[in-house]
Amino acid sequence: LKQHHEQASACSLGLGARCVPQQQQQEQAVQGFMQRQPRYRIRSSTVCAAAAVESSPAAAAALPKLSDLPLQAIINPQGFVSPDVVPGTSAAVFSVYDEQQKLQYIGFSKDLRASLRTVLGRRPDKAFYFKAVQMPVLDQEHMLALRQAWFDECGAPPSGNKLALERKAWQSAVDAGAISARAKPAAAADKARELQAAIKARGCVEEFTPDPDLMAEGQVDFLQSGDAVEQQAAAAASKAATVAANNGRPVRTATAVVDGQAKQFSVEYTGRYPTKGGFFMDVKLSFDHMDTKHR
């Protein structure tokens, strides 16, 4: 049993070379992803599913509940994939949600920003929001236990972990669908343009450059961006904060109960117009990294 557990843990994070036969499919998917990591420009990232490991009630009680974590937009208001990463973070367990905030996938990461870019590039129609627990050390056992606790909390694994085709879509490069070797590059180019258009339509201003080696094989995955993009994201966020402060517009923060949970939002008063006996007010409501305007 101990040997089985160690093999399952190693397989789940792409760090082991041997797994029991029923785990070979997962191992191959993870190894395929890890083998492509040297082609990426910066830090490696693991986006994979793991073999289920049972956790004790006592251990599960000490783990962060998925429902208690803040839901954050993958693309921030400035158009960047720029999650707040705690300095010294070595690993993370993260969950991905669609536009209706329905859980789609739970994965592991060594670089949260890189992993979020990867899932956005592969599934721009599904990857809208995320939750994450960041860890100072890469502890396979703890990460597996946390993921299993989230499965238990939700009643079952989400489709991206449970269903083979969905799992492949989250963990592997996008197959353009061409059969002949001659048609693969062109099909991959078409698929890359389709994905890039979908990402841009979501308001993302980052460049998504397809991996040329994978394109030749009829597959699409996007290279990771360099430090320059991270600096641009930080500068854009700083500029937005400065503009808001210089405008001198009153901003109020409030809390409302949504689905039984306290949620914080902010209201910015952007305009005021006199009427007979009162005023019209233009306001901007910000919640979950999304803005809406109202009068």
Share of the chain above pLDDT 90, in %: 51
pLDDT, tens digit, 9 for 90 and up, residues 222-268: 998 876 676 776 676 666 666 656 565 667 777 777 777 767 788 88
Q: What is the pTM of this model?
A: 0.67
16-30, 71-85, 140-154: least confidently modelled range: 16-30
H-helix segments, 63-183:
112-122, 140-154, 159-162, 164-171
Classify strands 129-135 and 290-294 as parallel, antiparallel or unpaired: unpaired
Q: In terms of Cα–Cα distance, which of 249, 289, 246, 235 is closest to 265?
A: 289
Mean pLDDT of the chain: 79
Higher pLDDT, 48 or 114: 114
- C-alpha to C-alpha distance for 61 and 57, rounded to whole angstroms: 6
pLDDT, tens digit, 9 for 90 and up, residues 71-101: 999 998 888 998 988 999 999 999 999 999 9
- C-alpha to C-alpha distance for 148 and 53, rounded to whole angstroms: 7
The confidence score (pLDDT) of residue 215 equals 96
Averaged pLDDT for residues 40-48: 37
